[in-house]
Amino acid sequence: MGEGRHLVIAIGGERFAVDALRVTAVADAEPPTPLPVGGASPAGVRVEGVGRFAGRPLLQVAPDGVGRPGGRLLVCAGPGGLAGIRVDRVEGLTDGDPSLPSLDPGQWLPGLGAGAAPGPAPPPAGDAADDGILFLFLSVGGTTVALPAGRIARLAEVERTFDRPGQGAPVVVVEGRLRAARFPGGAPGRQRWAVLPAGPPDEPVLLIDRPLGLYRVPPGALCRTAGPDGDRLWCRAPDGSLVEIPEADGMTTAAEPAAPDVAPGPSRRRDGPASRPMLCLDCGPHRILVPPDLVRAIADPDARASVLPRRRRGEAGIPLLDPGRLTGEGAGRGARVVVLGPAGGPGAGVIADAAALVTLPDEAFHPIPYAPVWPAALFDAVAALPGGPWAFRLRPHPVFAALPAGLRRRIAGALAGWLPGAPAPESDPAVAATPAREFA
């Protein structure tokens, strides 16, 4: 244990010392809001959900060995925001006890405990969310690299690995198929995840340790350097570090920013309204906030009577999902059918227990702290609604490529049928008149 004051904590019957300067506060652990789609937990901890501290969201995690609910939270700050580490108890302060092993909060979440300020607030819904390029940050052999999300088809778990000593990268089994593999940046190891590039089906997959997060990188945070081995691409990560964008079979050629033909227009964050309406959907235990621009129709509960159990080949239809099935619950008889999707594009129906129009100020939205990749692929912010848990705001353009096959199968398991057609938004009376109250 190093010098200075340390907190003595207990986890699963063991005692540890944590540098007191790396802890922002100690608070009582309260039940967090569960993440809508779960998420891969960092090694050594499990993600319990989004909690609350001083009105701000924090990612609540519990180290392996902490089983029972309750206990205390070590609130720590880092480049990804706030996180709360749930421990069995905090026993007090000590100036030094060499018999106690040290515990570093950063071993579970990058930079946690460094005291860095949280990241910038998310852009308003429908705002300049497309300024910059969305990157998937990955851990490979202890190194962080970044790949453009648009060049990734999906993530999948490696089912089996066949080593080829002296012959380069191994051959792996992914989604039941034998695939050639490679490592971003040439980092060797036995990786658990494979990145399937959005290209020909015989293109090699990229083997990684684990995904770290989805972040939008502005054009000014990208650069190219020349070297004896060729050009290299770099970007500035949210924590300020420099991260390489490996040249992986052309996956990064679209990452370089082009000079704009015209000057960018004014930001609606500066010049727009201070608040905006959002459609709040109660979907089982979760509340989902949807920008009105993504709502194509809101049908009466009777519309569920016309749902087709399956779609015949060649027939038009819109998939209808019941999010309650993901948690083992089903929607009630009075639930509404909400058709989501951009105008003129593919849509999807969602069964919601209730739908209400709410108006929230821009400052009500917070980035999801240390967001696991799966929720971050679908949701870009959380907001606190009066008298309720955190509500998750749907991304204008969800990044389905970042979802692993197992999670996509779970979402497919929520399919409740097919809507026979998409009613035009202007013809649906429920959309034409949407007062700021719960839809009857």
What type of residue is 223? C
What type of residue is 253? T
Check whether residue 280 and residue 427 sit in a common domain: yes
Above 90 in pLDDT, residue 391? yes
pLDDT at 111: 77
Q: What is the pLDDT of residues 69-98, one digit of tens each?
A: 678 999 998 888 899 999 988 998 888 777
Above 60 in pLDDT, residue 332? no
pTM over 0.95: no
Check whether residue 281 and residue 248 sit in a common domain: no
What's the rounded mean pLDDT across residues 49-57? 89
Q: What is the pLDDT of residues 54-66, one digit of tens each?
A: 888 999 998 887 7
Query: Could you give the dihedral angle defined by the CA atoms of residues 149, 155, 161 and 166, in that order, rounded to the nearest 10 degrees?
Result: 0
In a domain, 437, yes or no: no
Bridge partners (DSSP) listed for residue 10: 15, 89
Check whether residue 301 and residue 241 sit in a common domain: no
Check whether residue 284 and residue 375 sit in a common domain: yes
Q: What is the pLDDT of residues 265-275, one digit of tens each?
A: 333 333 444 57
Check whether residue 311 and residue 423 sit in a common domain: yes
Q: What is the pLDDT of residues 136-161, one digit of tens each?
A: 788 887 788 888 877 777 777 888 88
First to last CA, the chain: 61
> Starting at the edge strand that comes first in sequence, how are the strands of the sheet with 379-384 ordered?
354-361, 275-283, 286-290, 390-394, 379-384, 365-366
What type of residue is 390? W
Check whether residue 11 and residue 141 sit in a common domain: no
Above 90 in pLDDT, residue 392? yes
What is the domain extent for residue 355? Answer: 275-432
What type of residue is 368? I
Above 60 in pLDDT, residue 42? yes
Dihedral sign of CA atoms 300, 306, 307, 313 in order: negative
Above 60 in pLDDT, residue 220? yes
DSSP per-residue codes, 144-177? EEEEEGGGEEEEEEEEEEE--TTSSS-EEEETTE
Above 70 in pLDDT, residue 112? yes
In a domain, 128, yes or no: no
Least confident of 114-118, 218-222, 278-282, 311-315: 114-118
Check whether residue 426 and residue 351 sit in a common domain: yes
Cα–Cα distance measured from residue 35 to residue 135, given in angstroms and rounded to the nearest whole number:
21
At 2, give phi and psi (nearest 5°).
Answer: -80, 180
pLDDT at 330: 58
* Residue 301's pLDDT band (cuts 50, 70, 90): low
What's the rounded mean pLDDT across residues 10-32? 89
Q: Is 169 exposed, middle or buried (0-12, 13-18, 19+ CB in 10 A)?
A: middle
* Residue 427's pLDDT band (cuts 50, 70, 90): very low
Least confident of 207-216, 226-235, 282-291, 428-437: 428-437
pLDDT at 38: 65
In a domain, 119, yes or no: no
Check whether residue 226 and residue 318 sit in a common domain: no
Domain boundary among 197, 217, 252: 252
Check whether residue 379 and residue 285 sit in a common domain: yes
The chain-wide mean pLDDT, for the chain, equals 74
Check whether residue 143 and residue 247 sit in a common domain: yes
321-353 per-residue burial string, b: 16 or more CB within 10 A, e: under 16: bbbbbbeeeebeeebbbbbbbeeeeebebbbbb
Cα–Cα distance measured from residue 438 to residue 358, given in angstroms and rounded to the nearest whole number:
9
Residue 74 Cα distances to 8, 31, 60, 229, 236, angstroms: 11, 15, 10, 46, 29
pLDDT at 372: 79
Single out the residue of 197, 115, 189 nearest to residue 148, CA to CA: 197
Q: What is the pLDDT of residues 334-384, one digit of tens each?
A: 577 888 876 556 678 888 888 877 888 888 899 888 877 778 888 889 998
Half-sphere exposure of 102 (CA within 13 A, CB side): 15
Check whether residue 62 and residue 183 sit in a common domain: no
Q: What is the pLDDT of residues 2-20, one digit of tens each?
A: 567 889 998 888 889 999 8
pLDDT at 2: 55
Q: Is 293 exposed, middle or buried (0-12, 13-18, 19+ CB in 10 A)?
A: exposed
Half-sphere exposure of 27 (CA within 13 A, CB side): 18
Single out the residue of 136, 132, 114, 112 nearest to residue 122, CA to CA: 132
In a domain, 438, yes or no: no
Single out the residue of 58, 90, 91, 50 nearest to residue 76, CA to CA: 58
126 contacts: CB under 8 Å, gap ≥ 6: 291, 293, 396
Least confident of 130-144, 170-184, 254-268, 290-304: 254-268
In a domain, 268, yes or no: no
pLDDT at 236: 83
pLDDT at 415: 83
pLDDT at 390: 93
Check whether residue 60 and residue 193 sit in a common domain: no
What's the rounded mean pLDDT across residues 94-123? 74
Bridge partners (DSSP) listed for residue 135: 148, 215
- Domains identified in the chain, total number: 3
* Residue 206's pLDDT band (cuts 50, 70, 90): confident
In a domain, 155, yes or no: yes
In a domain, 239, yes or no: yes
In a domain, 148, yes or no: yes
Half-sphere exposure of 234 (CA within 13 A, CB side): 12
What's the rounded mean pLDDT across residues 183-190? 61
